[in-house]
Structure 1
Amino acid sequence: MEQEKGLVLLVTANNPQSQLFIDYLHQQLDCSVSVVAPGTEWKGKDASPAVALLDADHIDEATMQQWHVRGAESSNMSLAAFNLRDEEHAVETLSAMNLQGVFYRSDSLDMICKGLTILLEGNLWMSRSLMTRMIQFFRRQQLNSYRPVCGLTHRELEIIAMLGTGASNIEIADQLFVSEHTVKSHLYNIFRKIKVHNRLQAVNWARQNLGAPPPLIGRRQRTESQLSSLHPS
């Protein structure tokens, strides 16, 4: 009965504090609640509505990207982040991945439960001011798409997008079937063209000018084991 009414997946470190949070959600929400440790593969069914609640305090960028891919592949899963510091942090996170819900550290437990209920119904949960900022952000991106992006080549655009997924030089080389030395040369040219000094600055520039990175998927068919290591199903 509970499974039919939805599922909340709390993606966070499994500790006494998170267990108290889970117990509270169990009491307040008429649905199932499960905890998934960051980096752990979740193999649940995709039959009922689900909300993956991602703990920004315990999830790195690579794990965020894995859930970004998983959410894009699922027709019934909504993604939400919680423990975000403020609206600036929310804009930064939303520019890197598609989220349907946003919760801040200052949000009360009652507010979180209300938001989860709205998300399970298939609606968005974020403030009007945040939605306005994101609309403006994507409008700027749309305008940027109609003019050259700082002279970056198609290959350089591919590489800078992969930086946003947390891919290493070796992983980028593997994806593009080039040498690691070639990737380093491309990165040097990218940094020079967009006037940044390191990978983090390049990723932030890409988020502001190119949008959320695409899922890290190879352009040739890989073996089943390689796929599962990159994209947990």
Structure 2
Amino acid sequence: MEQEQRLVLLVTANNPQSQLFIDYLHQQLDCQVSVVAPTAEWKGMEASPTVVLLDADHIDEATMQQWHVRAAEADDMSLAAFNLRDEEHAVEILSAMNLQGVFYRSDALEMICKGLTILLEGNLWMSRSLMTRMIQFFRRQQLNSYRPVCGLTHRELEIIAMLGTGASNIEIADQLFVSEHTVKSHLYNIFRKIKVHNRLQAVNWARQNLGAPPPLVGRRQRDNPASIIPPPS
């Protein structure tokens, strides 16, 4: 694969600090490096593979979920997050969306470049301790999936999943082909059944009790399941 076909796309605020980071990646990585603002629309580029690097300091949860959907629909796109506070923060993000790479605020620039290179090769980049925690998390969710979930109906489960994407009542209604009033009625019943008072509490409850799908694996990694290279502990 030609080096110029590879792309690292930073989704972050364009400021002097981020520009220094971008310039450093340009110097160290044998690939294209581009940046897009969190609120800007990105139409894609003719590059493969692509690593999308989400800045946790400048991206809200709804925007992260939008990139999550784009990555799931793409053939050769890896999703990673940087500027995460610590492993607890990483677990919180990974319980709601699929990431192939995780970088912390304390990571050295050299380590970030090494991780991005690994991601461009189609491998995962996260610590063994984090992977162990997520395996245990998904095992618990798998066990929970065989148990009744507080009496929630299939439609209520659909709606609570959409809450996690940041969808509004109108957007949920449009996707489910029902009225906004029907969505509000479902939300009232959901809140009552799981004993929460607002959307944020419902999303947090869903993360703890329903979980998210296991991390997506790129095409090359499916061909080579052993290609999980964690960073040094």
Tell me which interval the TM-score lies in, with the shorter structure as reference length.
0.7 to 0.9
Q: Deviations over 1:191-215 (max 9, x none)?
A: 11111111111101111222238xx
Give the distance between the partners of 2:168 and 2:88, measured in 1 at CA.
27
Tell me the alpha carbon deviations over residues 96-144 of structure 1, each in whole angstroms, 9 at most, x when there is no partner.
1110000011111111111101111111000111100100111011111
Separation in 2, partners of 1:43, 1:195: 41
Aligned to 2:186: 186
2:130 partner amino acid: L
**Which AA in structure 2 matches 1:67?**
W
Q: Is the 8 A contact 1:84 1:103 kept in 2?
A: yes
| Percent of residue pairs bearing the same amino acid type | 91
**Matched residue type, 1:132:** T
Rounded to whole Å, the distance in 1 between the matches of 2:207 and 2:186 is: 19
Q: CA deviation at 1:74?
A: 1.2
RMSD of Structure 2 on Structure 1 (CA): 1.3
CA distance in 2, matches of 1:44, 1:155: 33
Find the counterpart in structure 2 of residue 80 from structure 1.
80
Question: 3-state SS of the aligned residue for 1:132?
Answer: helix
Partner of 2:91: 91
Are the equivalent residues in 2 in contact too, given 1:46–1:74 (CA < 8 A)? no
How far the C-alpha of 1:47 sits from its partner, in A, is 4.3
Establish whether residue 3 from structure 1 lines up as the match of residue 14 from structure 2: no
Aligned pair 1:107/2:103, yes or no? no
CA–CA distance in structure 2, aligned partners of residues 131 and 155 of structure 1: 32
Counterpart of 2:203, as a letter, is: V
**Cα distance per residue 1:157-207 (max 9 Å; x no partner):** 011011001011111112112222221111111111111111111101111
User: For the Cα contact (< 8 Å) 2:4–2:30, is it kept in 1?
Assistant: no
- How far apart are residue 46 of structure 1 and its match? 5.0
User: Which runs of 5 or more residues in structure 1 are unaligned?
Assistant: 214-233
Q: Which amino acid aligns with 2:83?
A: N
- 1:137 partner SS: helix
> Which sits farther off after the overlay, 204-213 or 47-56?
204-213
Aligned to 1:32: 32
Take 2:46 and 2:202, find their aligned partners in 1: how far apart are those partners? Answer: 36
What TM-score comes out, normalization by structure 1 length? 0.87
In structure 2, distance between residues paired with 1:55 and 1:183? 32
Match of 1:45 in 2: 45
**Could you tell me which residue of structure 1 aligns to residue 198 of structure 2?**
198
1:2 is displaced (CA, Å) by 4.2
Q: Does 1:153 align with 2:148?
A: no
In 1, the alpha carbon distance for the partners of 2:84 and 2:97 equals 14
Query: Corresponding residue for 1:55?
Result: 55
